[in-house]
A and B are shown apart, each in its own frame.
Chain A
Amino acid sequence: AQSVAQPEDQVNVAEGNPLTVKCTYSVSGNPYLFWYVQYPNRGLQFLLKYITGDNLVKGSYGFEAEFNKSQTSFHLKKPSALVSDSALYFCAVRDRSRGGSYIPTFGRGTSLIVHP
């Protein structure tokens, strides 16, 4: 079975400050990891993914995420937050081992609020 935990329901940060949205995962095999963002009244938009290789993954809108296998984490980061980054962020995991499900499991989401 695979699962994702986003331990914070909400993250507050001031504009211009760095932000981190946390995610930990559990899979029986090797993971595919994803971050999606959802703006109000919209569907989810893909931000970035980790498949293999470099542990630091760069994505859209200046976001990046760091894969840490020993801590089974995939935290989303941005060096300088913008008010327009305020949205709901979802982490997702998929087991990429042979026989694993192709269906991703999503976390419950973290609401990011960036204050001017």
Chain B
Amino acid sequence: KAGVTQTPRYLIKTRGQQVTLSCSPISGHRSVSWYQQTPGQGLQFLFEYFSETQRNKGNFPGRFSGRQFSNSRSEMNVSTLELGDSALYLCASSLNPQDEKLFFGSGTQLSVL
């Protein structure tokens, strides 16, 4: 069975632009969460979706948003990009929010110039 797929793999943007990242979970998984990974901060939780509803949101500004579609695929959007948004963005899926085990995609490496 295919794993978690994230596209694109790499992105280069300039300050002020916006970006959309995509995540396709493992088939049958309905919960998707997003994390930002940076060398200094480790993994920071962004948000979690289940059945097209945002269940939890991390401590990030409103420029960071997301959504989940009826097929459980998820997108996250970052508007008005800042240099500090440069990071690896990881998506993880699980059967449901209570499931203990997360399956991660390879991530999208975003560079903001």
Contact = CB atoms under 8 A, between A and B. Distances in A.
Nearest to A108: B42
Given A101-B56, A102-B97, A103-B48, A46 B41 contact: no
Interface size classification for chain A: 20 to 34
Contacts of A32: 100
Interface size classification for chain B: 20 to 34
Contacts, number: 49
Interface stretch (A11-19, A37-45, A61-69, A73-81): A37-45
For the complex, would chain B's binding face be called helix, strand, loop or mixed by DSSP majority? strand
B107 interface: yes
A46 B102 contact: yes
B33 A103 contact: yes
B104 A43 contact: yes
Interface in B89-113: 90, 92, 97-98, 100-107
B43 interface: yes
Nearest to B58: A103
Interface in A20-40: 32, 34, 36
Interface of A: 32, 34, 36, 41-46, 49, 51, 90, 94, 101-109
